[in-house]
Amino acid sequence: MAVRGAIVEVAFPPQALPTINEALLIERDAGDKILAEVQAHVDQTNIRAIALRSTIGLRRGQKVIATGGPVETPVGEAVLGRLVDVTGSIADDGPPLPADAPRRSIHRPPPPLAQKSPGTEIFATGVKAIDLLTPLAHGGKAAMFGGAGVGKTVLVMELINAMIARYRGISVFAGVGERSREGHEMLLDMRRYGVLDRSVLVYGQMNEPPGARWRAPLTALTIAEFFRDERRQNVLLLMDNVFRFVQAGAEVSGLLGRMPSRVGYQPTLASEVADLQERIASVGDAAVTAIEAVYVPADDFTDPAVTAIASHVDSMVVLSRQMAAEGMYPAIDPIQSSSVLLDPLVVGEKHAQVATETRRVIEHYRELQDVIALLGVDELSLEDRRLVGRARRLQRFLTQPFVVTENFTGMAGRSVAVAETIAGCKNILQGDCDDWPENSFYMVGPIDEAREKMLSARRRAETPANGAPP
């Protein structure tokens, strides 16, 4: 046996050579066992495996046992309310799982196409920009794309908070390459909100070997599939961050000695992403709905990993660094974001018209920004000045305070119904709010809050400094 970082090379008799993806147990001198997974056959007697735990303490000549099957994880009611690692081992302070807890292989084929149900039911989130411009599908896949520091994790946390409050299914959270601080905060938040008993947290932490980070999403997906297929329950699957799944796969590929592909990624990038994403589907009357955060390296949306993930999702929520710099949170780009559900036959004629007109007005404003920067807004035509004012009001109206940021901003979080979002944007587009100050739309919920903010500002302006009536 040879050990090269997270890669373990093992010799077997030719007649007992384990298959690809078969689990191996490696016994350490300390008495514990390390789980590894076969990834390559070197020759007729040697295999290369990726360790799912640290290989510190391994040495040549130690005993390796082929389990005869793939890596398995415990599933079912036993894991509800628990935090587990990639192998299903308990990672919180609670008692061990019962010995009779059902276990399932983390490698499963996707449901046949004939069994999949199309996701056309809207999954309301209470976030104005998402519900209006990029509606999510019940039983579909949505991804939040953005570079570092633009608010992906905060947005995913807000969606968790908003959906769990109204969602009556099971929630499975996959933390891929997460910091231990983030996992601890997630556990405490779910306990505080009283939703932990219907949730499962699966973590492959940043300090763990690449194999653990690479297989953590498969463990979470296996747990979700059990509730969908065998309990006929709807499941909300949240993954943060899918890019780190790709990154871990690239590390494993390099350790195995494979020739890298474009930008240094693994040659199997497309198939690995497809194997994960195609398992997320609705089957019959039960669905797995996925919300995924995707890091965009160097804000390059043409990165191979980003394009591979984007090709599988129904809704793309693109976060803009420029909007984040301007304080427009959530920093959702209304032009680049898209959804296959934004169709009059799905969301209704009114919703589709308001969303399309909102995009048109904001895009026209962006086209004029260079002219405004050079000559000033006063040099525009009257119609362009009117559209610029409405675009700026729309951008501010699509911001809102989040529940998960209350401790930092001091502003109470807002959840807005889809009908109220559409009505507010329609009022702005029709010119009903042209004489309202722009700051009255910033960080509010429905349009009524903006109206109240505007009236309060006018009352303050009309009141003399000494407080006497004018």
Phi, psi (rounded to 5 degrees) for 124: -70, 135
As a whole number of angstroms, the distance between CA 257 and CA 259 comes to: 7
Say if residues 7 and 258 touch (Cβ distance below 8 Å): no
**178 catalytically annotated:** yes
As a whole number of angstroms, the distance between CA 251 and CA 287 comes to: 32
Per-position b or e across 280-303, b if 16+ CB within 10 A of its CB: bbbbeebbbbbbbbbbbeeeeeeb
Tokens of 458: 């006018």
**27 catalytically annotated:** no
Helix (H, G, I), strand (E, B) or coil at 251: helix
| Crossing angle of helices 447-462 and 418-429, rounded to 10° | 50
Pick the catalytic residue from 48, 82, 104, 152.
Answer: 152
Say if residues 72 and 226 touch (Cβ distance below 8 Å): no
Distances (CA, A) of 211 to 86, 188, 251, 439: 9, 27, 9, 49
**128 catalytically annotated:** no
Residue whose C-alpha is closest to residue 286's, from 341, 336, 230: 230
Residue with tokens 């050579």: 17
Most distant CA pair in the chain, distance = 98
Pick the catalytic residue from 179, 262, 366, 458.
Answer: 179
Say if residues 315 and 341 touch (Cβ distance below 8 Å): yes
Pick the catalytic residue from 178, 251, 272, 449.
Answer: 178
Rg of the chain on CA atoms, in Å: 26
As a whole number of angstroms, the distance between CA 112 and CA 100 comes to: 30
Q: Which residues contact 72 (CB under 8 A, 6 or more apart)?
A: 23, 88, 103, 104, 105, 106
Helix (H, G, I), strand (E, B) or coil at 69: strand
- Catalytically active residues are 152, 178-179
